[in-house]
Structure 1
């Protein structure tokens, strides 16, 4: 039962935004240790991050920033509707 695979489906925008957030939390700040205190949880986080990194070509394109912002906006619109322009305090970093 331990090695039974779980499949998670994300849209490309969801995967791209999650990949960026994971990168920020794991490599550009100390956030991961503050958010995830149990190091056992790091194993699946690294697995998800690695899977996203090997799947997403967007992370290697020169227009990464504008593509990321467009993906975030599409996701916000999908969740909150056209009129939502809000971002959280940590977004956009």
Structure 2
């Protein structure tokens, strides 16, 4: 996920500050979102938090379809998103090794 559009930067920065207790200047430096891994991840988490209006309980299971719908407002790009989720969760984050 990559945060885009100035309006979204403005909306998401307060959530990122609340979540991570840091200041972010994505409005004046949107390149940070593409160039700095920390900013990319923090902005994605903050956007997810913003879109769900802080109510993570709306998602009662880790369901890519529900996440896609809530974050993107629909199912556009869902097959690609599922492929990326599987790749990231297994190859990058090793989620299959996590204990329940």
The answer to which structure, 1 or 2, has the higher relative contact order (CA under 8 A, 6+ apart) is 1
Shared fold per TM-score greater than 0.5: no
Which TM-score applies when normalising by structure 1? 0.33
Which TM-score applies when normalising by structure 2? 0.31
